Amino acid sequence: MAAVTDRINGLARRIPTGVVWAGATIPFVWLVWAAATNQLGADPVKAIELKLGLWGLQFLLASLCITPLRRLGLNLLRFRRALGVMAFFYIAMHFLAWVVLDMGLRWDEILRDLYKRPYIILGMVGLLAMLPLAVTSTNPAIRRLGPARWRRLHRLAYVAAMAGAAHFVILVKGWPAEPLLYAGAVAAVLLVRVRLPRPLRA
């Protein structure tokens, strides 16, 4: 097991972080192309919203997995920033797709939707929780805050993940398996993050 872990860590060290940044933009580029070529079905706006939201939740989950994996010996820490920032990007685009494409910037209808559909408020809570994380994702911000304060602030990622999972579960009617699986994955990752011991520092 240790040999496999060392091999993965060695491979990860050779992968430039730019590869992760570039790879994370591929779904968005594909979505723009699919929308431009009418490949998103009868309701392209809903398809855009759903895909952006799902990708945002997936990247957020991936970023939250970095710490448990590190405690198990896999050091992918250098990719966490890219995953977290891209999670914020997709979730922000999900929100903008709803406001601009779906609601057409009709603020009276947006307010009515917030009243009628509380899951939208949950989604906005998740987005707002991620905003300070995105703003403080740079090295100068980490130095200004200090490592301890920065780590405490970035626990807001837990709030964002729980809000995002709840948003998805309530959004999809009929209790299908997919949103429940995402909610279970979020719960499992957060439980593992809390319960796994921290690695000993040299």
129-147 pLDDT per residue, tens: 999 999 999 999 999 989 8
Are the C-beta atoms of 182 and 162 separated by less than 8 Å? no
6-26 pLDDT per residue, tens: 888 888 888 999 999 999 999
94-133 pLDDT per residue, tens: 999 999 999 999 999 999 988 888 899 999 999 999 999 9
36-58 pLDDT per residue, tens: 999 998 999 999 999 999 999 99
d(Cα 195, Cα 59) in Å, to the nearest integer? 22
pTM for the structure as a whole: 0.91
> What's the whole-number average pLDDT of the chain?
90
Are the C-beta atoms of 130 and 94 separated by less than 8 Å? no
Element (DSSP H or E) covering residue 104: none
